[in-house]
Amino acid sequence: MPTTAAVPPPRNPMREALSYPVFRRIWGASLFSNFGQLIQSVGAAWAMTELTGKADMVALVQTATFLPMMLFALYAGAIADTYDRRKVAMLAIGIALVSAAAMTVTARLGLLAPNLILVFTFFIGTGIALFGPSWQASVSEQVPSASVPGAISLNSISYNIARSFGPAIGGVIVAVAGAAAAFFVNAVFFLPMLIVLFLWKRDQEPSRLPPERLNRAVVSGVRYVIHSPKIRVVIIRTIITGTLGCAFQALMPLVARDLLHGDARTYGLLLGAFGIGAVTGAFAMNGLRERFTYETLVQATSLTLGIAMLGVAVSPWTLLTVAALVVGGASWMISVTIYNISVQTVLPRWVSGRALAAYQTAIAGGMATGAWVWGHVAQAFGVSVGLSVAGFGCMLSAGAAIWLRLPHATDPAEDRAKMLAEPQVDLELTPRSGPIVVEILYTVPRFRARAFYSIMQEIQLIRQRNGGYSWSLARDIGNPELWTERFHCPTWLDYLRQRSRPTQSEHEMLERANAFHEGESPPLIRRMLDRPFGSVRWREDVRENAVAAVPPGPAAP
């Protein structure tokens, strides 16, 4: 009798991610730090409410929290890609810890003022902004690529578990012991993360090339995002969602005080309801991802988030408001997690910190700007009007899919594919020699010209996001079968980096382009040192026919 093969149990990416000790320890420590930040945010927002009572000033607390991410995230991403991510994360947590401790001392001395609340909140946010890219980019070093989506969801769950209970705890702490106690708890809760990062023995793969300078690394990250259509779409959609969806968080203290006539405990209850919804949404992600596309989920959550805002705007009862916030929290969580997964699963490792920083800049910039806008709207027209306008905007944002459709879910991007032959170098070069001009000559039959031209548009994006500029494609008017691809790199070292960056899928695209070439030999590649008139400085000790002064990288056009 034939035997029936046992059916393997369904995969649970989150459970798999937690099976890795390094990730599990860091995730647990992040839970503590998230609790501390949420407790601190309750203290800061309520202290501002008591000191000023102005809607715009209360909303500025959230602006001060997220503004550093908008200002510094790209530099933080460049630092994460350039230096040891563990050490960068430790430095960032140290900055936040010192700022939280200073805020505690100031509050205990009775010197806390509205401007100081914003200043200390800004510096704590600066530490978190520096920490974020290093932490998120290192997820792929803590778990295998197949478990990365589950790890991303768990990181979101960590924050939202804290959101579920931290604000309620913060409300009790503020009501019983004052804002200074909330600030002290935040400072103490940063310590577990410092400890686990210190104990993490990170395996860092040494680079064959020296690190990029910070400013150039930032430019490389921005260039990658600009020339990556998938990431560009996600960034724009993230800005839209962040700007509109942040009205909940920005106006929550005023909902508690003005619409429900409550106190700090009420504020904590509302934030807890929003967090419970977010955790529910995060746990539902695995099942939803299997049944629906990312685009369908984002459109649905945009509608439900808008409806939840309208419900809070018109609700006179705490119970109804709590129910609407649970729905809103789940919708917000699903949208933000989808954007995060969409970015991380298409990134090569060399730029992961910077691209994640661009995502963080988008979400933080949208939330900081939105908090300022909705605070002023609430100050001028009332909290209900501000939430209603934001709610209608969320519902309308579902139509963004007409122009900006999210990319389909993919497996995590492969990193460098293979080592290729080294280029021939018979001229003395230094790392700063440049610009380097690269020409690739193809012979393509006329009947294949249109298809070749089409695929070369994809090649253009690959060259540009990996470091090339001034890309062009020319066709010989005397012999139309001859095509010349041409691009520049700023220096010889930049060219070596550009050749080492393509992923497996990008190498496959380059091979598809080469397949159009007909001839006994592969396409001819010419690498030239550009010397514009007047820029050459010959010296007597300069030798011709010398080898390159820097280590060659893997060859590619």
Report the pLDDT averaged over residues 342-356. Answer: 76
| Residue in the structure block whose two tokens are 């020409």 | 439
**CATH classification of 416-557 is 3.50.50.60, yes or no?**
no
The model's pLDDT over 39-74, given as tens digits with 9 standing for 90+, comes to 888 788 878 877 776 766 776 787 787 778 777 877
Q: What are the sequence ranges of the domains in the chain? A: 13-201+212-402, 416-557
pLDDT, tens digit, for every residue of 526-541? 999 887 554 455 455 5
- Residue 333 pLDDT greater than 90, yes or no: no
pLDDT above 50 (res 288): yes
Q: Are 221 and 357 in contact (CB under 8 A)?
A: yes
Lowest mean pLDDT among 103-117, 329-343, 415-429: 415-429
| Contacts of residue 257, Cβ cutoff 8 Å, sequence gap at least 6 | 49, 263, 266, 267
Beta strands at 482-489 and 436-443: parallel, antiparallel or unpaired: antiparallel
Got the DSSP string for 484-546? EEEEEESSHHHHHHHHH--BHHHHHHHHHHHTT--SSSPPEEEEEE---TT-----TTPPSSP
In order of 67, 92, 185, 359, 460, the CA distances from 246 in angstroms are 13, 25, 25, 16, 37
In the structure, what pLDDT confidence band is assigned to residue 557 with cuts at 50, 70 and 90? low
Q: Is the peptide bond before 435 cis (omega within 30 degrees of 0)?
A: yes
pLDDT at residue 101 greater than cutoff 80: yes
Residue 261 φ/ψ region, left for φ over 0, alpha for ψ in the -120 to 50 degree band, beta for the rest: left
Q: What pLDDT band is residue 453 in, cutting at 50, 70 and 90?
A: very high
Fold of 13-201+212-402: Growth Hormone; Chain: A; (1.20.1250)
Give the predicted TM-score (pTM) of the model: 0.70
Q: How confident is the model at residue 3 (pLDDT cuts 50, 70, 90)?
A: very low
User: Binning pLDDT at 50, 70 and 90, where does residue 498 land?
Assistant: confident
Does 356 score more than 70 pLDDT?
Answer: yes
273 — pLDDT class (breaks 50, 70, 90): confident
Lowest mean pLDDT among 79-93, 282-296, 514-528: 282-296
Q: Give the pLDDT mean for 110-134.
A: 86
Q: What is the pLDDT of residue 419?
A: 52
Q: Is the pLDDT of residue 231 over 80?
A: yes
Report pLDDT digits (tens) over 129-181: 888 778 777 777 777 766 777 777 777 777 767 766 776 677 778 877 878 88
Work out the mean pLDDT of the chain and round it to a whole number: 80
168-182, 452-466, 471-485: the lowest-pLDDT one: 168-182
Mean pLDDT of 93-100: 90
> From CA 429, how far away is CA 431, in angstroms rounded?
7
Average pLDDT value for residue range 501-510? 85
Weakest-pLDDT range from 169-183, 224-238, 311-325: 169-183
Q: Using alpha carbons only, what angle is made at residue 63 by residues 60 and 69, rounded to the nearest 5 degrees? A: 160
Which residues are CB-neighbours of 140 under 8 A, at least 6 positions away? 148, 344, 349, 352, 412
Mean predicted confidence (pLDDT) in 113-119: 87
Q: Do 416-557 and 13-201+212-402 have the same topology in CATH?
A: no
pLDDT of residue 6: 44
Which pLDDT value is given to residue 82? 78
- Over its C-alpha atoms, the chain yields an Rg (Å, rounded) of 27
